[in-house]
Amino acid sequence: MMEKLRKALNPESVAIVGTSVDQVSVGIGPVYNLVSSFYRGKIFPVNPKYENVMGIKCYPDLRSIGEPLDLVIILLNQHAAMDILEEAGKLGANGAVIVAGGFKEVDEDGKALEERLQKISAKYEIPVIGPNTHGFSNFHKDFHSIFWHFDTFPGEIAVISQSGGVGLTIACSLRTMMCGLSHFVGVGNGAVTGFSDYLQVINLDPNVRVFSLFVEGLENAREFYECARKITAKKPVVVYKAGKNEEVAKATLTHTGSLTGEYDLYRAMFKQAGLVEVDSAWDAAVASKALAMLNLPEGDRVCAMTFTAGPSIVGMDRLLDAGWKFPDISDHARQGIRSVIGEKTPVELQNPIDLTGLGFLPQNYSGVLEVLRDESFDAFFLVWSFNALIRIPIAEIEKFVKDVKKPVVMVLLANQYEAERYLEELARRRVCCYLTPEDGATALNALLRRYKMLNRDRKVSN
Amino acid sequence: MMEKLRKALNPESVAIVGTSVDQVSVGIGPVYNLVSSFYRGKIFPVNPKYENVMGIKCYPDLRSIGEPLDLVIILLNQHAAMDILEEAGKLGANGAVIVAGGFKEVDEDGKALEERLQKISAKYEIPVIGPNTHGFSNFHKDFHSIFWHFDTFPGEIAVISQSGGVGLTIACSLRTMMCGLSHFVGVGNGAVTGFSDYLQVINLDPNVRVFSLFVEGLENAREFYECARKITAKKPVVVYKAGKNEEVAKATLTHTGSLTGEYDLYRAMFKQAGLVEVDSAWDAAVASKALAMLNLPEGDRVCAMTFTAGPSIVGMDRLLDAGWKFPDISDHARQGIRSVIGEKTPVELQNPIDLTGLGFLPQNYSGVLEVLRDESFDAFFLVWSFNALIRIPIAEIEKFVKDVKKPVVMVLLANQYEAERYLEELARRRVCCYLTPEDGATALNALLRRYKMLNRDRKVSN
């Protein structure tokens, strides 16, 4: 079934059953998304009511297509979806997406229906994505089974989410941070294929550098653990878990039919499996971006540099908590920095390094970076305060990042709108940048946790 | 001294000593900021080297100006600044800003210099802002003593920060959320005027609805407590505190010369004084925005509505933690919602209300809002997933907000760039909107904490 799922997630041909030119129930149909993103595979709309949809020939049913199908997207209600799934199975389709809700998350009848779904899937060995899902996107294939349209671009992060809305929040946060996605998968009820299946299959895709998961509850935590542990040995996996409160469990049950369960047990399991756990959708994006863009540190010694000390102080609060050390700078570095910013600058040079207003000059900033290049730090936390009238030393920071080959997080104190074009340029130059010191710290902390996890496993295996 | 400080923070005339056409040490001079923001008071650049600066007559010294001065901005080094302060005091200026560092935050000599500063200030009864500060802005007066330029607009939130960089982060975060500022004050070393003074004086300004503070450490916590307690009886005060780690204390000491001290004591004191404490600069902006834009609830019963349940589930996690209750909707409401979304929609209607895909239609969304209008909730948490192809029911939500007269937080799942024009429109219509469910929850939680605090005080005084 895994090979079929792989083909379904990389479809060369797709049928969309229940497509409509007046798609009320699911907003706007996948056909629109496929056409507007220039999907290169074959598109077969299916609806007996139409001759064509958006200029593409429309078929009355699956059978009349007469070609192999990698994926069948089923937009019909939960009852009608069963018949189409059966038909797709008979025709040997490699996979199906069932969007409709109305299964185990609503009542006993729905539960029975979900069991029927599982039986059909098993009988024909057809993997099912969903039900009760927005479907998935594979951005490197320009493929979208999802029925709503959102703005992003191909990238290195695979978002796999038990909730379309929270997955969307992670995806939007990444877009705000100028990070693209490789995949965006809605697990939904996960009646047939769950997190472990998606992790395994998507892990084969060379475009993927990081996984970013949103989990409500896991049916099979042991299977997830075994699978995640194998993945995290090679690739970072970020996880955000819902349902810390008991009352939330009730709401979750009627959402994707999952029990959120004992949060503490999940937390321990995530840690053991080497996942990087975060506390919000935004932080999932922050950590995923850092893990996708940066090298891992080879130790825990961080150097912070700023010309307005406050941001490095609030960053320090978080970095120290996570286990980073702030060793002092060497006398050699101290002399080097003095020679750049002047002997008389009234500031005590220590780590965090506060250059004061003199650091605001691009030539001074890059001069000090040159001094720090060979100092024995494992990571850098560089703050720049945006000023509409002073050039940001982007090329100099890019050079530093390339030279040191260590993780460097840049914090640009600016609002999102004035930062936009710089964030684009920095992303292109592979400089990892955030707009608040707290986000910068969250980013470095994710790297340190992954470094420690890999180190722990290395020790265990030695 | 308070009346002088009030005049200094609302200056009709300002001298800038040490202004330069080649302002290296402090980036770009305040003269540029004052001219480009169309400040309506009198500007007197002072520097014997120039005849004029940016077309404005330049004076060789303070005395030769020969007019009353509300404020003297001193851009010179820490030693030269002392002489100018003395001169400003003699001339009867209402206040001075000293930008230079090199005082108690560096060494014993600096400490002695700061004591001299305090003596001069006391002798002439001239309030000093700083030293070691970026100065301040009063946006409703188009006034900026700060030497760097950043993008915002006049609003209702006064940011008072012991760090220019963290204050800037709060200000930029607010700008990203489409909130303006009334004031932006850098306390710096606070040698003469501290948080209590700024709170008292700025509190007199009718433009201010909310204070947002960043605190490293307080010299006089008792005075701060007494002052803050009086303010919070009338206006919300948000506070973000640095220095949870001991090692951070060292860095802070060489920053603004403050000891960050025992964090737990601060936390208890903030709570007792009725402040709303937050954990990051971003959260300071989130809470300040909500407190500036929204009515307080009159109870703790919240209703969440969504058409993709995940966001309300992660919101719930935080809302429940803060003490919000999620009472179920009435049978009457249940029937009303069914009549809008259809009897057959396979979803269990409870609170949070999940409308599923059918809620995605603006007419359905507003139809359900109409049903909820008279239900007995104290606050609302409304989620909308952005879709480029479906209209956001902004006018309908605005109407709901006006009708219910209760706090309504909207969560728009979108990235910052696609959201920008909607955030602008929503702010104009006074709809309080965030882009992640976690931020929406932080916002409602700030309101509940303030409601509870006022309630506690009411009970005590009865």
Give the DSSP per-residue string, B365-377: HHHHHHHHTTSS-
Return the pLDDT at B21.
67
Chain B residues in contact with A312 by the CB 8 A cut-off are 251
State how far residue B168 is from chain A, nearest Cα, in angstroms. 7
Say which of B26, B106, B247 has its CB closest to residue A346: B106
The answer to whether the Cβ–Cβ distance between B149 and A175 falls below 8 Å is no
Instruction: Give the CA angle between residues B446, B452, B457 to the nearest 5°.
Output: 130
- Say yes or no to pLDDT of A400 above 80: yes
Q: What is the pLDDT of residue A253?
A: 67
Identify which of A128, A144, A129, A134 has the alpha carbon closest to the alpha carbon of residue A164. A134
CA distances from A195 to A138, A201, A270 (A): 16, 10, 13
- Tell me the shortest Cα–Cα distance from B171 to chain A, in angstroms: 8
What pLDDT is attached to residue A259? Answer: 59
Give the pLDDT score at B27: 47
Instruction: Flag if B387 and A418 touch (Cβ within 8 Å).
Output: no
Mean pLDDT of B184-201: 96
Cβ within 8 Å, pair A248-B110: no
Q: Give the Cα separation of B431 and B440 in Å (integer).
A: 12
pLDDT 10s digits, B442-455: 999 999 999 999 98
Query: With 50 as the cut, is the pLDDT of residue B321 above it?
Result: yes
Contact B124, B272 (CB under 8 A): no
Residue A121 and residue A107 in contact, taking contact as beta carbons nearer than 8 Å: no
- For B:255-274, CB contacts with A below 8 A are 255-256
Distances, alpha carbon A357 to alpha carbons A392, B14, B24, B36, B54, in Å: 14, 23, 9, 22, 22
Q: What is the pLDDT of residue A240?
A: 97
Mean pLDDT of chain A: 91
Question: Of B148, B255, B420, which has the smallest distance from its Cβ to A387's Cβ?
Answer: B148
B461 or B394, which is more confident: B394
Which residues sit opposite A17 in a β-bridge? A46, A74
- Opening angle at CA A97, ends A94 and A101, nearest 5: 150
How far B175 CA lies from chain A's nearest CA (Å)? 6
How far does A148 lie from chain B, in Å, by closest CA? Answer: 6
**What is the reported pLDDT for A27?**
47
Q: CB-based contacts of B343: which residues, under 8 Å, 6+ apart?
A: none
Q: pLDDT band at residue A51, thresholds of 50, 70 and 90?
A: very high
Q: Is the pLDDT at A274 greater than 50, yes or no?
A: yes
CB contact under 8 A, A356 and B101: yes
Reading the block at residue B48, the tokens are 């014997």
Q: Check pLDDT > 90 for residue A25.
A: no
Contact B175 A417 (CB under 8 A): yes
Reference B28, options B99, B95, B92; nearest CA is B99
Average pLDDT, chain B: 91
Which is higher by pLDDT, B161 or B28?
Answer: B161
Instruction: Tell me the residue type at A354.
Output: D
Give B323's pLDDT tier (boundaries 50, 70, 90). Answer: very high
pLDDT at A359 over 80: no
Residue with the bigger pLDDT between B265 and B297: it is B297
pLDDT interval class at B87 (50, 70, 90): very high
Strand pairing report for A181-186 and A136-138: antiparallel
In this model, does residue B347 exceed pLDDT 80? no
Task: Specify the pLDDT at position B362.
Answer: 85
What is the mean predicted confidence (pLDDT) over B301-306? Answer: 96
- Cα separation, B201 vs B195, in Å, equals 10
Q: In the sheet that A432-434 helps form, which strands lie side by side, from edge to edge? A: A353-354, A302-306, A379-385, A408-413, A432-434
Predicted pLDDT at B378: 98
Percent of all residues in chain A with a pLDDT value above 90, rounded to a whole number: 74
Q: What is the pLDDT of residue B132?
A: 92
Contact with chain A for residue B421, Cβ under 8 A = no
User: From B384, which residue of chain A is nearest by alpha-carbon distance?
Assistant: A165
* pLDDT exceeds 80 at position B254: no
- What is the pLDDT at residue B320? 95
Contacts of residue B213, defined as CB under 8 A and 6 or more positions apart, other chains included, come to B159, B160, B161, B195, B237, B238, B239, B240, B275
Higher per-residue confidence, A36 vs B162: B162
| Least confident segment among A184-188, A306-310, A420-424, B74-78 | A306-310
Is A26's pLDDT higher than 70? no
How far does A460 lie from chain B, in Å, by closest CA? 31
User: Percent of chain A having pLDDT more than 70?
Assistant: 95
**In chain B, what percentage of residues exceed pLDDT 70?**
95
A150 vs A259 pLDDT, higher one: A150
Full set of structural domains in chain A with CATH: 1-134 (3.40.50.720), 150-293 (3.40.50.261), 295-459 (3.40.50.261)
CB-based contact (8 Å) between A455 and chain B? Answer: no
Position A356 confidence tier, pLDDT thresholds 50, 70, 90: confident
Q: Identify the residue with better confidence: B262 or B291.
A: B291
Q: Which residue has the higher pLDDT, B143 or A259?
A: B143
Task: Work out the average pLDDT over B70-84.
Answer: 95
Both tokens of B322, joined, read 């803060």
Kindly report, residue by residue over B405-426, the tens digit of the pLDDT.
Answer: 999 999 999 999 999 999 999 9
pLDDT of residue A117: 97
Q: Please indicate if any CB of chain B lies within 8 Å of the CB of A306.
A: yes
pLDDT band at B12 (very low <50, low <70, confident <90, very high): very high
Interchain CB contact of A308 with B (< 8 Å): yes
> Chain B partners of A390 at a C-beta cutoff of 8 Å?
27-28, 148
